[in-house]
Structure 1
Amino acid sequence: MSTKATIALAALLVAAAGALPACSAAHPGSDITGSGKATIMVTTNILGDITRNIVGDTADVVVLMEANADPHSFGVSAYQAGQMEQAELIVFNGLGLEEAVLNHVSSAEKQGVPVLEVGAAIEPLSHQSAVANGTIDPHFWTDPQRILTAITVIEEAVAQHVGVANPEALHSNASNYRAEVGELEAWMAAEFAAVPIDRRKIVTNHHVFGYLADRFDLTVVGAVMPSGTTLAAPSAADLSALSTTIREAGVPAIFADTSQPEKLAEVLAQEAKVKVEIVPLFSESLSAPGEGAESYVEMMRTNTTRMTTALAR
């Protein structure tokens, strides 16, 4: 080949390369973990555990939220944001829960990554508090019946969008996990049914157990922070009003999230001038291993035992 022909060919290759789309790390379907399997990104660790039970070893599940974190405020690093744009599917709670992560979910979706807002498929409820009334409650996982729906929704999304290693195993896993959560719901129903009707009144550090109350016939008297998010703060008037309610309703306990300081709940207990027990619950995040809420099922069993024990006293 002549020198002129070689130069012309090189110029042609350079021009062709420039006309091609730039190769980006943010490429949907990339092998993020290096295992050779498809990757599903999940925002919260509760949905992460549920998704792992469904997927098994047919795909990799990467969870963004660490144990004992607050879903309202946890964020992601630039590296994690890049990973989200490489996933084959992003599973997120939605309904406004992951307030610091939703923009990254939206960005990944614009890059062509399929996303699943689980909360949109579970017949969401509105908050019933005077302050938050009318806003959508994102804490649907406290109702295992809605988790049964979530299992099916996640299973279908994975089957549609993710190249899993073994589709039959995916559906078998989902069926087995539905049975496990169904048993959990039956057990919880029996435990709460044993609590006298007049003792089924609860106060929490913020409005997080509306779905559980709706499913198992409890009454949410109020919350220290009269909001559906931990990013809010109570006023002196809020605390005074709730103190009156606690005295009049004879509430035996205040349930405070283990990831949140109990100071406000303790102040309220003192303000109400009644004996009120402060009971820690795992309301919005799984725990580290050995702390009582390593999985969704373990979290719900721990919470149910602590709640029914406190309410029955």
Structure 2
Amino acid sequence: MKVNLFGNKRVWLITAMIILLAGCNQTTENVEENDKIRVVSTNTIIANLTDEIGGENITNISLLKAGTDPHVYEPVPQDSIELEKADLILYNGYNLEPNIIKLINSSGVTGQSLAVAEQVKPLDFEYEGQKKPDPHVWGNVQNTIIMVESIRDKLIEIDPENEAIFQQNSEQFIAELKELDSWIKNQIATIPVNQRQLITSHDAFQYYASAYGLEIPGTLIGISTEEQPSAQTVKNLVEIIRNTGVKAIFAETTINPTLINTVAQEAGVNIAEGKLYSDSLGVKGGEADTYIKMLTTNTNSIVTALGKSE
């Protein structure tokens, strides 16, 4: 049998070149990926803001997944690994994610960190006789603009080569946020003044209400979802609802709705059809998978439920 050695050599050479080129491409991709600063965001809201600014020029990991409550989240071993690998850790602060903050302080973190919400002057709430800062600052879009500027500045500090990109992305995003802020004000203004009362599962909408002209007569639980409402608390909220004549009360996506449903039944009031997103964005591809879509969805739900004619 005649063997074509030259042909075999050609096949071998071509195969070797393909393998070599593939290896080069893979190495190039790895180098490019390694050149990006590695950011860890502790919750979905901060992760989205950071993605809008950094885009493809950063690697951004969100520790919490959509629908996860940061107040009660218990870290897993992988979280420690991600924090230790990070060039920058962005967390909310004001004790929104207490167990993650403890982990950041106790693990072998070598990168920089920034408490993003703590760049905003907080509204206070009273707990056990002491005033504490409310962590839900993003309810006011003007506060979110401050958060975006803080994230942008920190990214530029760590990665000055991409300053122009971070500046451009943040400017475009801030313009969209300003439009959102105006739109919310106009939408809430369509609700009759005597019906602008917001009652929710937990006290996460103080900033939103203050910025856009709503009142919060009461909530089922306080700032943190760790709290367990007593029978007296439930009774008091039922009385508030009856006395104020609110048209509807709201469940939230990250909180079991059983108790707020009980309150609605006892008070003889409707639960709004749309649940509110408070401490987390919605699932990817859903109605609230970005910060802007979350505030838009919440506003639409509030206007629909409270703005109905008598």
Deviations 1:175-226 (A, max 9, x none): 111001111101001001111111011111010000001101110011112x
1:80 alignment partner in structure 2: 79
Contact 1:32 1:83 in 2 (8 A): no
Could you tell me which of 101, 106, 124 is aligned with 1:126? 124
Tell me how far 1:82 sits from its aligned partner. Answer: 1.8
Equivalence for 2:196: 200
Cα distance in structure 1, aligned partners of 2:292 and 2:160: 25
Q: Which residue of 2 aligns with 1:17?
A: none
* Residues 224/131 of structure 1: CA separation in 2 closer, same or farther (3 Å cut): farther
User: What amino acid is aligned across from residue 196 of structure 2 in structure 1?
Assistant: R
Aligned residue number for residue 6 of structure 1: none
The residue number in structure 2 matching 1:116 is: 114
Deviation at 1:164, TM superposition (A): 6.1
Shift in Å, 1:111 = 3.8
> Would you say the 8 A contact 2:83–2:109 is kept in 1?
no
Q: Are the structure 2 counterparts of residues 287 and 57 from structure 1 closer, same or farther at C-alpha, using a change threshold of 3 Å? A: same
Q: For residue 40 of structure 2, what is the amino acid of its counterpart?
A: M
> What's the TM-score once normalised by structure 1's chain length?
0.84
Measure, in 2, the Cα distance between the counterparts of 1:172 and 1:132.
45
TM superposition outliers: structure 1 runs of 4+ over 4 Å: 31-35, 130-133
- 37-46 or 79-88: bigger deviation: 79-88
TM-score (norm. length: structure 2): 0.85
Structure 2 residue 230 is the aligned partner of structure 1 residue 235:
yes
For 1:33 and 1:42, the matched residues in 2 are separated by: 21
Compute the displacement of 1:133 (Å): 7.1
User: Structure 2: how far apart are the matches of 1:254 and 1:305?
Assistant: 14
CA offsets per residue over residues 24-46 of structure 1, 9 Å max, x none? xxxxxxx9995541101100100
Partner of 1:185: 181
Q: Which has the higher helix share?
A: 2
Residue by residue over 1:126-156, the C-alpha shift from the partner in whole angstroms, topping out at 9 and shown as x without a partner, is 126x878722110111111100111111111
Q: Which residue matches 1:12? A: none
Tell me if the contact between 1:73 and 1:98 (Cα under 8 Å) persists in the aligned partners.
yes
Question: SS of 2:50's equivalent?
Answer: helix
Identical pairs, percent: 29
The one-letter code of the counterpart of 1:185 is D
State the 1:260 CA deviation.
1.6
Determine whether 1:138 maps to 2:135: yes
* 2:227 alignment partner, SS class: coil
2:283 is the counterpart of 1:285:
no
1:275 to 262, 265, 269: 269
| Aligned residue in 2 for 1:213 | 209
Give the letter aligned to residue 307 of structure 2: A
Match of 1:150 in 2: 147
Contact 1:40-1:88 within 8 A present in 2 as well: yes
Report deviation, 1:276: 2.5
- The whole-number CA distance in structure 2 between the counterparts of 1:249 and 1:133 is 28
Separation in 2, partners of 1:283, 1:49:
15
Is residue 256 from structure 1 mapped to residue 245 from structure 2 by the alignment? no
Residue matched to 2:23: none
Report the secondary structure of 1:166's partner residue.
helix
SS in 1 for 2:298: helix
Asked whether the equivalents of residues 59 and 165 of structure 1 are also in contact (C-alpha less than 8 Å), the reply is: no
How many residues in Structure 1 have an aligned counterpart in Structure 2? 278
* 1:213-266 deviation per Cα after TM superposition (whole angstroms, max 9, x unaligned): 1101110011112x1011111111111111111001011111111122211011
CA distance in structure 2 between the partners assigned to 1:224 and 1:46 by the alignment: 24
SS in 1 for 2:250: strand
CA distance in 2, matches of 1:260, 1:220: 18
1-side partners of 2:54 and 2:106: how far apart? Answer: 25
Say whether the 8 Å CA contact 2:249–2:269 is kept in structure 1.
no
